[in-house]
Amino acid sequence: MIWDTHAHLDDHRFKGDLEEILKNMKEAQISRVINIGYDLPSSRRSVDLAHKYEEIYAAIGFHPHNAKDATEEALKKLKNLAKEDKVIAWGEIGLDYYRDLSPRKVQREVFIRQIELADEVGLPVVVHDRDAHGDLLDIVKTHTPKNGGVFHCYSGSWEMAKELLNLGFYLSFAGPLTFKNARHSVEVARNIPLDRFVLETDSPYLTPEPYRGKRNEPAYVRYIAQKFADIRGMSLEEVAEQSFANGNKLFRLSIN
């Protein structure tokens, strides 16, 4: 059984066939998926999905793209939402200097504020980092989440990875691990301690080989698991078991 620790099943691309997507997921022996919020409405949708489906859990938060909308009133509503059943993480939060859809200063301020709120409600964080390695590393060194967290779809170097591991973070591998031009992610996968990785799809984005270019879905996390297994000389079953145990520990859920 495998976790898909990061997906966006409330995305419009799943409208009309979500039930089939969840059926595919079960048939592929993917037992759990975390639906990730990126603003207040999507966070509410994540909670609604978690309440409706046993296999879905929720994360709530403001993505750096949406940081400009993260007023104190909105963050207060998120904090209340964090108390709902099956909310197991605060995210995705972080910095994105690639698209710059919110001012960088605002991104940094909102990222720090959300780490503080996650600390207050006792949740680990799910961190987004794109082209912002330096600033992001500086922030997590000075505002290290008290309840841990994960860098989703980790794209940084092994040198940065070692610093994050020392701070207590987990690292998550997604579809890019399977791409032919993958370099940093393969190096990190080859060296990461086996008790500190998790797997994800980031559905509907970042579809792994051999389905690259098509809509992603949680069932495809098996291809990422297989690639990790190939890199480490392990069986798919060993990777599935280890990543499942790691997800349970990171998000503080029972083993079964």
pLDDT digits 0-9 by tens, 156-173: 999 999 999 999 999 999
Beta strands in 2-97 (DSSP E): 2-7, 30-36, 56-60, 87-96
Contact 29, 1 (CB under 8 A): yes
Q: How far is CA 201 from CA 6, 64, 220, 221, in A?
A: 6, 19, 7, 6
Residue 124 is predicted with a pLDDT of 98
- Exposure pattern of 124-150 as b/e (b: 16+ CB <10 Å)? bbbbbbbebeebbbebbeeeebbbbbb
What domains can you pick out in the chain, each with its CATH number?
A: 2-251 (3.20.20.140)
pTM of this prediction exceeds 0.75: yes
Residue 1 is predicted with a pLDDT of 83
- The mean pLDDT value of the chain amounts to 97
**Tens digits of residue pLDDT in 195-214:** 999 999 999 999 999 999 99
Please compute the mean of the pLDDT values over residues 83-105 and round it to a whole number.
97
What is d(CA 86, CA 199) in angstroms, rounded to the nearest whole number?
19
**Tens digits of residue pLDDT in 54-82:** 999 999 999 999 999 999 999 999 999 99
Residues in the chain: 256
